[in-house]
Amino acid sequence: MAKKVETVDMADQFSEFKELKNIDKTTMISVLEESFRSVIAKMFGSDENFDVIMNPDKGDCEIYQNLEVVADDEVQNPNQQIGLTDARNDEENPDPDCEIGEEHTRKIDFAKFGRRAILNLRQTLASKILDLQKDAIYNKFKDLEGELVSGEVYQSWKREALLLDDDKNELILPKDQQIPTDNFHKGDTVRAVIHKVDNQNNNPKIIVSRTSDTFLRRLFELEVPEIHDGLIVIRAVARVPGERAKIAVESYDDRIDPVGACVGVKGSRIHGIVRELRNENIDVINYTSDPVLFIQRALSPAKITTIRIDEEGKRAEVFLRPDEVSLAIGRGGLNIRLASILTGYTIDVYRDLDNDEDDVYLDRFNDEIDQWVIDALKSIGCATAKAVLNTPRQDLIDRADLEEDTVDEVLDILRAEFED
């Protein structure tokens, strides 16, 4: 009766292994053998003189104990030695011709060790199976970092959302990796990219993201066949999630317009991406290795008069007509910030003074005004004295994030310049 119970247990364990994905047969056999040896070592003090033969196709295993044959009165360790008489009359494997000093092999019926031993084996196997599953999950998703994945929202909390993919693997979408206007409910299907995979204490944690530049790249690859096929390549991406993004593309085929291909007929291709990104505005521009032309395109829709490039310092001074400055800067400085990220150049915007010879660039006042104050004013498009004086005082305080006393001091210095 005991043997039947043991056989069923073993068959169940083998069956469970066969259902596991990403675990090859060699690994399966190795882990099963290791589990049996672990239990044997606990019962006999050592597993060194045991042979464990796995039969995964039959769903069982055979265990043999190798014992040294000694005189009947010299058995000191029954787990390592066997008396001559016992070896010759062994019920399982009698060896009437054996002699002292030889090795006798005894077949072990695991079921005879009782329910406790079988339970111990099951627990050991379960633990190792769990470790194998965790390793398989980690290795699978580690190789998929940066790839697009879909999951169903299982639960949403204040700091993160839990998604389940088609195989019920858990995907964590932290709040800082969500688009600000994301609002998920249980059962929603969400797309993201695998951002990173941690494995602390052999506990894999799959972090996904909707705010990374890679997410935008993967969406374009999905919607634009020419990108997927390698005919168009994405050269650079700059993005403020949920607000605006710029993407530079280049075609390897002169017959293909990369911008037109990405946008699609009447915006058919890009509209799907915009909806996925919660109405994030996307500017698609033609990439060029010419930094001057690239910066001009990146600052679109503003029209630039002149550009001065410092290629070593990766800085660019851009001159525009006064009415174009606000377009180049963008709301909250967003356009110029994205253009700087996209091109890799720090961009300083200046008003073109050809039509106003009396105006003066703020940098001329760096002996009276701290440079960080000048930089703050330039960041909101006020690169000249008259630009500052023509901007409402409260705007200078709020938009440049300056103290009232600092703004008043700057205004006094600049007014004095024109009074003189």
103 domain-assigned: yes
Whether residue 420 has pLDDT greater than 70: no
Query: Domain check: are 15 and 131 in the same one?
Result: yes
Whether residue 2 has pLDDT greater than 50: no
Query: Domain check: are 279 and 236 in the same one?
Result: yes
Whether residue 125 has pLDDT greater than 80: no
367 domain-assigned: no
Give the Cα separation of 317 and 310 in Å (integer).
Answer: 8
Instruction: Fill in the amino acid letter for 255.
Output: R
Whether residue 7 has pLDDT greater than 80: no
Q: What is the pLDDT of residue 200?
A: 86
Q: Among 20-34, 129-143, 194-208, 247-261, which stretch is predicted with the lowest mean pLDDT? A: 20-34
For 372, the token pair is 């960080």
Number of domains in the chain: 3
Q: What is the pLDDT of residue 11?
A: 46
Whether residue 58 has pLDDT greater than 50: yes
Query: Domain check: are 130 and 12 in the same one?
Result: yes
CATH code, domain with 250: 3.30.300.20
At which of 209, 238, 261 does a domain end? Answer: 209
Q: What is the pLDDT of residue 183?
A: 92
For 165, the token pair is 């993919």
Sheet holding 315-320, edge to edge: 304-310, 315-320, 346-351
320 domain-assigned: no
Query: Domain check: are 200 and 217 in the same one?
Result: no
Its pTM stands at 0.67
Q: How high is the mean pLDDT of the chain?
A: 86
Whether residue 144 has pLDDT greater than 60: yes
- Hey, what long-range contacts does 20-26 have (CB within 8 A, 24 or more apart)? 20/129, 20/132, 20/133, 20/136, 21/136, 21/167, 22/136, 22/139, 22/140, 23/132, 23/136, 25/56
Query: Domain check: are 186 and 235 in the same one?
Result: no
407 domain-assigned: no
196 domain-assigned: yes
Give the Cα separation of 333 and 327 in Å (integer).
Answer: 10
Over residues 361-371, the mean pLDDT reads 85
Q: What is the pLDDT of residue 352?
A: 72
Query: Domain check: are 124 and 20 in the same one?
Result: yes
The per-residue pLDDT for range 272-309, each reduced to its tens digit, is 999 999 999 999 999 999 998 999 999 988 888 778 88
Domain of 51 in residue numbering reads as 2-139
Q: What is the pLDDT of residue 5?
A: 38
Whether residue 417 has pLDDT greater than 90: no
Q: Identify any residues that bridge with 351 across adjacent strands, giving them in sequence order.
A: 320
